[in-house]
């Protein structure tokens, strides 16, 4: 644990920023960013869980895809956190704080079949997509076009990952019951 005795900036406060975004607007943007940051970390951990636990005939492809998707979620979280900090805020960071700020619910600790796991991931992606769209509109309306652009870029990647999951969940597969025996 840190031996530092002085808090440099309490969580939830907004300091003046060099980006010249008004403090009231910055506070709204930072709240939105912390919501997206927390949701993205929920997604990251769920994807890693599925990456670790996937089994079956399509193991390798799904294992690799889920690892890459988790990596993209982690990169998005970093971009979101750095933007919140640049606007004079403090990014949400601790496990309990992330859970409290997340607008999404992760699946439980149990291990499910891969189809159920991917369906749960797709549901989580959908909720995050809706949140990102809302926050693109919010930041645009507040005149923070740079944050809106960053969120748009993240939204494109999140939508692409969700679309890939739809393909994995399609009924058509090359694996047949006879090939599993």
Structural domain spans, the chain? 23-171
* Residue whose C-alpha is closest to residue 93's, from 148, 41, 15: 41
The CATH class that applies to domain 23-171 reads mainly alpha
How many whole angstroms separate alpha carbon 98 and alpha carbon 34?
8
Q: Per-residue pLDDT for 11 more than 90? A: no
Angle at 159 between CA 25 and CA 82, to 5 degrees: 40
Indicate the pLDDT class of residue 18, thresholds 50, 70 and 90.
confident
Q: Per-residue pLDDT for 4 more than 70? A: no
Averaged pLDDT for residues 67-84: 98
How many whole angstroms separate alpha carbon 147 and alpha carbon 6?
30
pLDDT at 1: 61
| CB atoms closer than 10 angstroms to residue 64 | 12
Model-level pTM? 0.89
Q: Per-residue pLDDT for 56 more than 60? A: yes
Phi, psi of 174, deg, nearest 5: -85, -15
CB 81 within 8 A of CB 37: yes
Q: Per-residue pLDDT for 84 more than 60? A: yes
93-132 pLDDT tens trace: 988 899 899 999 989 999 999 999 999 999 999 999 999 9
Q: What's the chain's average pLDDT?
A: 92
Averaged pLDDT for residues 73-102: 95
Q: Is 71 exposed, middle or buried (0-12, 13-18, 19+ CB in 10 A)?
A: middle
122-180 pLDDT tens trace: 999 999 999 999 999 999 999 999 999 999 999 999 999 999 999 999 987 656 555 55
Find how far residue 32's CA is from the centre of its chain.
13
Q: Per-residue pLDDT for 181 more than 90? A: no
């Amino acid at each position: 644990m840190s031996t530092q005795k002085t808090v440099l900036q309490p969580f939830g406060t907004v300091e003046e920023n060099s980006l010249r975004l008004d403090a009231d607007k910055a506070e709204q943007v930072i709240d939105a960013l912390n919501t997206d940051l927390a949701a993205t970390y929920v997604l990251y951990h769920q994807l890693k869980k599925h990456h670790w636990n996937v089994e079956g005939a399509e193991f390798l492809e799904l294992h690799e895809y889920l690892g890459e998707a988790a990596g993209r979620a982690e990169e998005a979280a970093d971009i979101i956190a750095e933007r919140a900090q640049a606007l004079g805020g403090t990014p949400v960071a601790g496990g309990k704080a992330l859970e409290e700020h997340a607008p999404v619910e992760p699946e439980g600790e149990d291990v499910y079949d891969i189809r159920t796991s991917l369906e749960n991931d797709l549901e989580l992606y959908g909720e995050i997509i809706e949140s990102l769209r809302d926050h693109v509109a919010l930041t645009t309306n507040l005149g923070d076009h740079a944050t809106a652009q960053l969120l748009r870029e993240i939204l494109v990647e999140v939508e692409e990952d969700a679309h890939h999951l739809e393909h994995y969940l399609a009924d058509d597969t090359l694996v047949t019951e006879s090939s599993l025996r």
